Structure 1
């Protein structure tokens, strides 16, 4: 979940201040690493085109195994 956005200027990516639900950690992620979740209410499918960033892959795998 994004809780803020930092914009340093047109020369830099937006930086998203994000909360990781699985661990409670707060991370700042550059725009190219941020992805939307699927949301069936809004008709948005989960994206399969982009791979999660390397830092997030382990958290996502742990979260998936919790729900399995």
Structure 2
């Protein structure tokens, strides 16, 4: 299985609004914990390690086999 990269959310704006609402009133540390918990919950739901590793590489901007992420401006 490969990571699905085409749009697949019926209402992305509503989802974004719900995500922002979940962060409302949280300090930076609590907000980061919420993000980490959400990532782990969704990773568990996906359950396919190859898909998760592909997503990690894409999110970080690396290619498997490279030692470091590319420099950013």
TM-score (norm: length of structure 1):
0.28
Larger helix percent: 2
- Which has more radius of gyration? 2
Larger strand percent: 1
TM-score (norm: length of structure 2):
0.27
Higher RCO, 1 vs 2 (CA within 8 Å, ≥6 residues apart): 2
